[in-house]
Structure 1
Protein backbone atom coordinates (compact mmCIF):
# COMPACT_ATOMS: atom_id res chain seq x y z
CA UNK A 1 0.00 0.00 0.00
CA UNK A 2 1.32 3.41 -0.92
CA UNK A 3 2.26 5.78 1.86
CA UNK A 4 0.78 9.24 2.16
CA UNK A 5 4.03 10.82 1.00
CA UNK A 6 4.07 8.70 -2.18
CA UNK A 7 0.47 9.60 -2.96
CA UNK A 8 1.15 13.29 -2.31
CA UNK A 9 4.13 13.29 -4.68
CA UNK A 10 2.16 11.42 -7.35
CA UNK A 11 -0.67 13.97 -7.12
CA UNK A 12 1.83 16.82 -7.28
CA UNK A 13 3.36 15.30 -10.41
CA UNK A 14 -0.15 14.76 -11.80
CA UNK A 15 -0.80 18.48 -11.49
CA UNK A 16 2.49 19.47 -13.12
CA UNK A 17 2.79 16.69 -15.74
CA UNK A 18 -0.33 14.48 -15.64
CA UNK A 19 0.96 11.41 -17.51
CA UNK A 20 4.05 11.23 -15.28
CA UNK A 21 1.98 10.93 -12.11
CA UNK A 22 -0.10 8.14 -13.66
CA UNK A 23 3.05 6.46 -14.96
CA UNK A 24 4.47 6.12 -11.44
CA UNK A 25 1.25 4.57 -10.16
CA UNK A 26 0.16 2.33 -13.06
CA UNK A 27 3.15 1.88 -15.38
CA UNK A 28 3.95 2.83 -18.95
CA UNK A 29 1.68 0.64 -21.06
CA UNK A 30 -1.41 0.67 -18.86
CA UNK A 31 -4.80 1.80 -20.04
CA UNK A 32 -4.86 4.59 -17.45
CA UNK A 33 -1.56 5.99 -18.72
CA UNK A 34 -2.68 5.96 -22.35
CA UNK A 35 -6.00 7.64 -21.50
CA UNK A 36 -4.22 10.30 -19.44
CA UNK A 37 -1.68 10.92 -22.21
CA UNK A 38 -4.46 11.33 -24.78
CA UNK A 39 -6.47 13.67 -22.55
CA UNK A 40 -3.38 15.74 -21.78
CA UNK A 41 -2.62 16.12 -25.47
CA UNK A 42 -6.21 17.17 -26.14
CA UNK A 43 -6.34 19.53 -23.18
CA UNK A 44 -4.23 20.08 -20.11
CA UNK A 45 -7.11 20.40 -17.59
CA UNK A 46 -8.87 17.12 -18.58
CA UNK A 47 -5.50 15.39 -18.28
CA UNK A 48 -5.05 16.71 -14.74
CA UNK A 49 -8.56 15.69 -13.71
CA UNK A 50 -8.16 12.16 -15.05
CA UNK A 51 -4.67 11.80 -13.57
CA UNK A 52 -5.91 12.66 -10.10
CA UNK A 53 -8.84 10.29 -10.58
CA UNK A 54 -6.52 7.50 -11.72
CA UNK A 55 -4.18 8.00 -8.77
CA UNK A 56 -6.72 8.45 -5.98
CA UNK A 57 -9.69 6.32 -7.00
CA UNK A 58 -8.16 3.73 -9.28
CA UNK A 59 -4.93 3.41 -7.33
CA UNK A 60 -3.34 0.01 -7.87
CA UNK A 61 -2.83 -2.26 -4.92
CA UNK A 62 -1.93 -5.91 -5.26
CA UNK A 63 -4.63 -6.99 -2.80
CA UNK A 64 -7.46 -4.82 -4.12
CA UNK A 65 -7.55 -3.38 -7.59
CA UNK A 66 -10.41 -0.94 -6.89
CA UNK A 67 -10.00 0.98 -3.67
CA UNK A 68 -10.56 4.56 -2.58
CA UNK A 69 -7.74 6.06 -0.57
CA UNK A 70 -8.66 6.33 3.08
CA UNK A 71 -6.25 7.79 5.54
Structure 2
Protein backbone atom coordinates (compact mmCIF):
# COMPACT_ATOMS: atom_id res chain seq x y z
CA UNK A 1 0.00 0.00 0.00
CA UNK A 2 1.46 3.35 -1.03
CA UNK A 3 1.66 6.45 1.10
CA UNK A 4 -0.92 8.19 -1.09
CA UNK A 5 -3.39 5.34 -0.57
CA UNK A 6 -2.86 5.46 3.19
CA UNK A 7 -3.46 9.22 3.27
CA UNK A 8 -6.59 8.89 1.13
CA UNK A 9 -7.85 6.10 3.40
CA UNK A 10 -7.51 8.42 6.38
CA UNK A 11 -8.74 11.73 4.94
CA UNK A 12 -11.09 10.71 2.11
CA UNK A 13 -12.14 7.08 2.59
CA UNK A 14 -14.81 6.95 -0.17
CA UNK A 15 -12.37 8.38 -2.72
CA UNK A 16 -9.75 5.77 -1.85
CA UNK A 17 -12.30 2.96 -2.16
CA UNK A 18 -13.70 4.39 -5.39
CA UNK A 19 -10.27 4.64 -7.01
CA UNK A 20 -9.47 1.03 -6.15
CA UNK A 21 -12.84 -0.68 -6.75
CA UNK A 22 -14.82 1.69 -8.96
CA UNK A 23 -18.46 2.57 -8.61
CA UNK A 24 -20.40 -0.21 -6.91
CA UNK A 25 -21.64 -1.61 -3.66
CA UNK A 26 -18.28 -1.27 -1.92
CA UNK A 27 -18.20 2.45 -2.69
CA UNK A 28 -21.78 2.90 -1.47
CA UNK A 29 -20.97 1.14 1.81
CA UNK A 30 -17.92 3.35 2.25
CA UNK A 31 -19.95 6.51 1.64
CA UNK A 32 -22.62 5.45 4.12
CA UNK A 33 -20.12 4.50 6.82
CA UNK A 34 -18.20 7.73 6.37
CA UNK A 35 -21.41 9.77 6.50
CA UNK A 36 -22.54 8.07 9.71
CA UNK A 37 -19.19 8.46 11.43
CA UNK A 38 -15.72 9.09 10.08
CA UNK A 39 -13.90 6.27 11.88
CA UNK A 40 -16.01 3.36 10.51
CA UNK A 41 -15.42 4.75 7.02
CA UNK A 42 -11.66 4.79 7.60
CA UNK A 43 -11.67 1.24 8.98
CA UNK A 44 -13.70 0.01 6.01
CA UNK A 45 -11.35 1.77 3.56
CA UNK A 46 -8.31 0.08 5.11
CA UNK A 47 -10.06 -3.30 5.07
CA UNK A 48 -11.01 -3.20 1.38
CA UNK A 49 -7.76 -1.59 0.20
CA UNK A 50 -5.37 -4.18 1.66
TM over 0.5: yes
Misfit runs of 4+, over 4 Å:
none
The TM-score with structure 1 as length reference comes to 0.64
Paired positions, count: 49
TM-score by length of 2: 0.87
Q: CA RMSD in A?
A: 0.9
Unmatched runs of 5 consecutive residues or more in structure 2: none
The structure having more radius of gyration, on CA atoms, is 1
Q: Which has the higher contact order (CA 8 A, sep 6+)?
A: 2
Give 1 or 2: higher helix fraction. Answer: 2
Question: What residue ranges of structure 1 are gaps of 5+ in the alignment?
Answer: 1-6, 57-71
